[in-house]
Amino acid sequence: MTKTLQAVIEQTTTQGNKAFVPYIMAGDGGLEKTKDTILYLQKSGATAIEIGIPFSDPVADGPTIQQAGLRALAQKVSLRKIIAFLTTIKHEVKIPLVIMTYLNPIIQYGIPKFISDIKEANIKGLIIPDMPFEESSIINDVLVPDDDIALIPLISLTSPQTRIEKILHESEGFVYAVTINGITGSGSAFSQDLQHHLKKLKSIAPIPVLAGFGISSHDHAVIVGENIDGVIVGSAIVEALHLNDFATIDAFFPQQTSI
């Protein structure tokens, strides 16, 4: 079964457009602001939205997203509160939402309950950056074939070819191609062989390939997305939202919109 997240991305690329997935930190500024942000990004033309969950030990996150997580935690939000909130607004959200969280909060939540609740919230994708592919059965064994939730794999620049092929064989939704060796952040530098890596990955991937980490501007997005299906932008979006700098966000979209 082709899951909704993959279908939406493929529909976007079939129309000659690149998929654009902004990342936001749930609860940064409060959950009501998170709702406003989701609806704003939806109206602006986001293909999907990645919803970050604040966590005290975010090993893959750079300073900007770490600070956003701390601001969200100061608002007393939690994974449970965020999922309950997303459930209340699901009928207003017409594009796929993808949750990005670390494994520890899911285990604390209870994996079967977590899967049941994000299904009720109409979540279409799940990214767990600190869960090795070899351990993904702890999530996949709870998902049933008809669940419309894609467990999205991450592939790094240093992944060996044999491992990449194994991951792609079981991938769904889209492939998250990590563009740098390190944590997230808009000041990161791309390696000279990035385009070769992305082009090769696209040539063998059975599902769409999106790249993320270190993309800080529309020009960056155009360059990185040239040979693949789209991009994910995190730190630049999170910082702009914190500063109410909607012009920076609008610049990522083909048509300018304002809140």
Show me where the domains of the chain are located: 4-250
Q: Exposed e or buried b for every residue in 9-39, given b needs 16+ CB within 10 A?
A: bbebeeeeebbbbbbbbbbbbebeebbebbe
Asked whether the beta carbons of 237 and 23 are under 8 A apart, the reply is yes
How much is the pLDDT for 66?
Answer: 92
Beta bridge partners of 4: none
Say how many CA atoms lie within 13 Å of 186 toward its Cβ.
18
Q: Over its length of 259 residues, how does the chain's per-residue pLDDT go in tens digits?
A: 799 999 999 999 999 999 999 999 999 999 999 999 999 999 999 999 999 999 987 766 788 999 999 999 999 999 999 999 999 999 999 999 999 999 999 999 999 999 999 999 999 999 999 999 999 999 999 998 889 999 999 999 888 999 999 999 989 999 999 987 655 554 455 666 889 999 999 999 999 999 998 888 888 889 899 999 999 999 999 999 999 999 999 999 854 333 3
Both tokens assigned to 161 = 């070819």
Domain 4-250, what fold? TIM Barrel (3.20.20)
What does pTM read for this prediction? 0.93
Calculate the CA dihedral of residues 204, 210, 212, 218 and round it to 10 degrees: 130
Sorted by sequence, the CB contacts under 8 Å of residue 15 that are 6+ apart come out as none
Distance CA 167, CA 246 (A): 37
Q: By three-state DSSP, how is residue 255 classified? A: coil
Positions annotated as catalytic residues are 50, 61
CA contacts within 13 A on the Cβ side of 239: 15
